[in-house]
Amino acid sequence: MSDSNGPRPLPQPLSLGGWVDRYLLAGEPDEPCLHLGRSVLRGELIDLVTEQQHQLSRVGLQPGGTISLRLPPSLGYITVLLAAWRIGAQVSLLDHRLTEAEVARALDRLAPQFLVTAGAAGGAAMRGYSQVDPVLTRRPDGRAAASAHCLIQLSSGSTGPSKVIARGPDALIRELDRYDRLLDYPRRGERVVLLASAVHVLGLVGGLLQSLHAGVQLHFPERLTGVGILQAVAADDRPTTVLGVPFYAELLAALPAKDRSAATAQPRTSDRPAALRRMIVAGELTRPGLAEAFRERFDVPLGTMFGMTELGMIATDLTGRHYPAVQPAHGMELRVAQGELLIAAASCPYLGLSDPSRWSEGWLHTRDAATIDPATGLVSILGRLDSQVAIGGLKVDLTEVERTIAAAPGVTEAVVVHDGGINAYLALRDTTVAAVQHYVAKELAAYKRPRQLHVLPALPRTTTGKTLRDPAALRRAATEQTGA
């Protein structure tokens, strides 16, 4: 752990991959660090990473080389990632759920020298992990790294084309330091049940890397269902934090009492797993009322985090006391200019992008609307700047409309877009469209109300679990549902 009075020293003079041993693999060989159907001790993980490192070196991966991983959550994914970093290679991560066409476009942009995919894979949809045999393919047209970055990720693409984002070891170590300083984040001897993708920043850094670094056992549930998640929590009596996106908090909060009791093998009067300490969600704004519903179900807080692929974790409210505001993490400098949240960043995090509207003069432009309380420093994220539209000459904030609809009784999720007018797409439980319309009519002026409510069984999402906001994709989902 770092000294709370000062920043963690950066890895100097480590070799290109030396930071992996110092910050991720250091620890007692006999301590359990991972659980994927079975417990994996740190010493075993180190041996597997070393073996994988030798294999990658033999086929020609060198310091400064490039490699893309397209693997599901698995022990194979973890060992290949750490081995490639240990070599000093630049690793780009592709979500295994991408289509072949999406992968082909990504590889054209990234041009890695090697690609690792899953050969034989065990498991199915809703599995929290897989058993895979990583298969390495050399790409003759691949290029060596043009920068010293160790990690390349693609943005989620929920609001537009993905961006190529690069981070170096120093940036990852600084983020680990920010996690270290969070009083309510899991500590050595505790557990994290990971629901977020380990390819994207929350699951990768907040889950995998921080757990390895802090001596926390990272548990991948066998199944990503409500019952499966609670079974993973109940599998051990150590204090346990669940880490995921709001979708899973909604899933757990709505789980019937009989299913919660069955999952925890406890009587219905005590259907919360005794080990559950809290759940933490990130990736998108939580709907009003979700934190209260979660606490009512499980008597533990639903914490929130605000972050970006570009910078990782930025601000948090792990106690649930400040909702919807969050507290900036240690060392993060934030300000609001013309309603937009800006975050200090010493260098541009994008590869192949020189758009000054995204980064300029040491500031990253988030394109999120926000306010900062001058007395407390708490930040309230209000939604995307492009959510402001004009209806009949009057300004309407689509985020306000969306949050109002999401707060209606029986609405489990909602997204509001402007597509020739205001349109709302939502999922319902134990309510009707007429009841939602009645609620909205009481809460919003007529010019703010959606011209139509499209009810779906579930809203379409990106591979990272974020609600999709592309109007065309939402229209298609609604058309498929109605059969029109």
Is pLDDT larger for residue 396 or for residue 107?
107
Residue 269 confidence (pLDDT): 39
281-308 average pLDDT score: 92
Q: What is the pLDDT of residue 15?
A: 63
Q: How confident is the model at residue 393 (pLDDT cuts 50, 70, 90)?
A: low
Same domain, 131 and 193: no
Amino acid 232: pLDDT? 97
- Give yes or no for residue 123 having a pLDDT over 80: no
Spatial distance between the Cα atoms of 329 and 185, rounded to a whole number of angstroms: 12
What pLDDT, on the 0 to 100 scale, is given for residue 154? 86
Mean pLDDT of 443-465: 87
Distance of CA 257 to the CA centre of its chain: 28
pLDDT tens, residue by residue, 328-355: 999 999 999 999 999 999 999 998 766 7
387 falls within a domain: no
User: Is the entire prediction scored with pTM above 0.85?
Assistant: no
> Is the pLDDT confidence value at 47 over 60?
yes
What secondary structure does DSSP assign to 405-421, as a single string?
A: HHTSTTEEEEEEEESSS
List the single range of 54-58, 254-258, 262-266, 457-461 with lowest mean pLDDT.
262-266
> What confidence tens digit (pLDDT) does each residue in 247-284 have?
899 999 988 876 655 565 554 434 679 999 999 999 88
Are the C-beta atoms of residues 95 and 156 closer than 8 Å to each other? Answer: no
Q: Does 180 lie in the same domain as 320?
A: yes
In the chain, helix, strand, coil percent, each to 5? 30, 30, 40
Phi/psi of residue 197, nearest 5 degrees: -65, 130
* pLDDT of 129 over the 60 cut: yes
End-to-end CA gap in the chain: 58
Q: Do 450 and 323 fall within a single domain?
A: no
Q: Which of 289, 274, 342, 356 is nearest to 320 (CA)?
A: 289
Domain total in the chain = 3
How far, in Å, CA of 357 to CA of 343, rounded? 13
Q: Strand 66-70 to strand 325-328: parallel, antiparallel, or no bridges (unpaired)?
A: unpaired
Domain span holding position 397: 392-482
Same domain, yes or no, for 413 and 441? yes
- Which domain-ending residue is among 115, 143, 164? 164
For residue 58, pLDDT over 90 is answered with yes
Q: Give the end of a domain, one of 283, 299, 332.
A: 332
Please choose, from the candidates 80, 82, 93, 87, the residue with its C-alpha nearest in 3D space to the C-alpha of residue 64.
Answer: 87
Residues linked to residue 132 through DSSP beta bridges, in sequence order:
121
pLDDT in tens, 192-243: 999 999 999 999 999 999 999 999 999 999 999 999 999 999 999 999 999 9
The dihedral built from the CA positions of residue 74, 79, 85 and 89, taken in this order, carries a sign that is negative
Inside any domain, residue 263:
yes
Q: Answer yes or no: is 342 within a domain.
A: no
Q: What angle do CA 288, 294, 299 make, to 5 degrees?
A: 135
* Same domain, residue pair 180 and 299: yes
Pairing of strands 114-122, 66-70: parallel
Q: Provide the pLDDT for residue 356.
A: 78
Residue 343 lies in a domain: no
pLDDT digit string, tens, across residues 410-427:
999 999 998 888 999 999
Give the model's pLDDT for residue 11: 43
Residue 99 lies inside a defined structural domain of this protein: yes
Check which CATH number belongs to the domain holding 444 and give it.
Answer: 3.30.300.30
Cβ atoms of 471 and 417 within 8 Å: the answer is yes
With residue 364 as reference, give the H or E element that holds it: strand 363-372
Sign of CA dihedral 225, 227, 228, 233: positive
**350: DSSP letter:** B
DSSP state of 427: E
Q: Which residue, of 132, 164, 196, is where some domain finishes? A: 164
